Amino acid sequence: MTDTTLHAKAPTTAGSDESEGMSYLESLPRRLVTLYLPLFIILVVLLFPFYWMGLTSIKPDEQLIDMEKYNPFWVVHPTFKHISKLLFETQYPRWLWNTMYVAVGATTLSIFASVLAAYAIVRLRFKGADTVGVLIFFAYLVPPSILFIPLASVIQAYGLFDSPLSLILVYPTLLIPFSTWLLMGYFKTIPFELEECALIDGASRWQILVKIVVPLAVPGLISAFIFSFTLCWNEFIYALTFLQSTPNKTVPVAIVNEFVDGDIYKWGSLMAGALVGSLPLVILYAFFVEHYVSAMTGAVKE
Partner 1 sequence: MSTIQTSLPRGVAISEPSAWVRLKTNRNVIALWFMLPAAAFLILFLAYPLGLGVWMSFTDEKIGRSGVFVGVENYEWLWDDSIFWLSVFNTLLYTIVASAIKFAIGLYLALLLNRHMPFKAMIRAIVLIPFIVPTVLSAIAFWWIYDSQFSIISWSLIKLGLITQNINFLGDTSWARASVIIANIWRGVPFVAITLLAGLQTVSPSLYEAATLDGATSWQRFRFITYPLLTPIIAVVMTFSVLFTFTDFQLIWALTRGGPVNATHLMATLSYQRGIISGRLGEGAAIATAMIPFLAAAIAISWFGMQRRKWQQGSDQ
Of 27, 89, 146, 191, the one binding partner 1 (CB under 8 A) is: 146
Q: Name the strand (E) or helix (H) holding 195.
A: helix 192-200
Positions in 182-241 near partner 1 (CB under 8 A):
205, 230, 233-234, 236-237, 240-241
Instruction: List C-alpha distances in Å: 226 to 38, 75, 104, 175, 291.
Output: 31, 35, 10, 11, 8
CB-based contacts of 169, cutoff 8 Å, min separation 6: 106, 160
Do residues 250 and 95 touch, judged by C-beta distance below 8 A?
Answer: yes
Per-residue contact flags (x/-) with partner 1 for residues 245 to 284, judged by CB under 8 A: ------xxx-xx----------x--xx-xxx-xx--xx--
**Residue 180 found at the interface with partner 1 (CB under 8 A):** yes
At position 179, the amino acid (one-letter code) is S
Minimum gap (Å) between residue 84 Cβ and partner 1: 19
Of 94, 144, 163, 214, the one binding partner 1 (CB under 8 A) is: 144
- Tallying the residues shown for the chain, one arrives at 302
Of 93, 143, 215, 247, the one binding partner 1 (CB under 8 A) is: 143
Q: Is the dihedral of CA 290, 293, 299, 300 positive or negative?
A: negative
Find the part of the chain contacting partner 1 (CB under 8 A) among 78-86, 87-95, 213-221, 289-297.
Answer: 289-297
The residue among 37 and 218 lying less far from partner 1, judged by its C-beta, is 37
The residue among 142 and 194 lying less far from partner 1, judged by its C-beta, is 142
Of 136, 190, 243, 295, the one binding partner 1 (CB under 8 A) is: 136
Positions in 27-56 near partner 1 (CB under 8 A):
35-36, 38-39, 42-43, 45-47, 49-50, 52-53, 56
Q: What does the DSSP 8-state code read for residue 163?
A: -
- Binders of partner 1: how many residues, by CB under 8 A? 107
At position 10, the amino acid (one-letter code) is A
Of 32, 44, 142, 218, the one binding partner 1 (CB under 8 A) is: 142
Rounded to whole angstroms, the Cα distance separating 8 from 221 reads 11
Of 21, 78, 93, 215, the one binding partner 1 (CB under 8 A) is: 21
- State how far Cα 121 lies from the chain centre: 25
Q: 85 φ, ψ to 5°? A: -60, -40
Do residues 190 and 217 touch, judged by C-beta distance below 8 A?
Answer: yes
Per-residue contact flags (x/-) with partner 1 for residues 59 to 78, judged by CB under 8 A: -----xx-x----xx-----
Minimum gap (Å) between residue 270 Cβ and partner 1: 6
Quick one: 285 exposed, middle or buried, by C-beta within 10 A (0-12, 13-18, 19+)?
middle
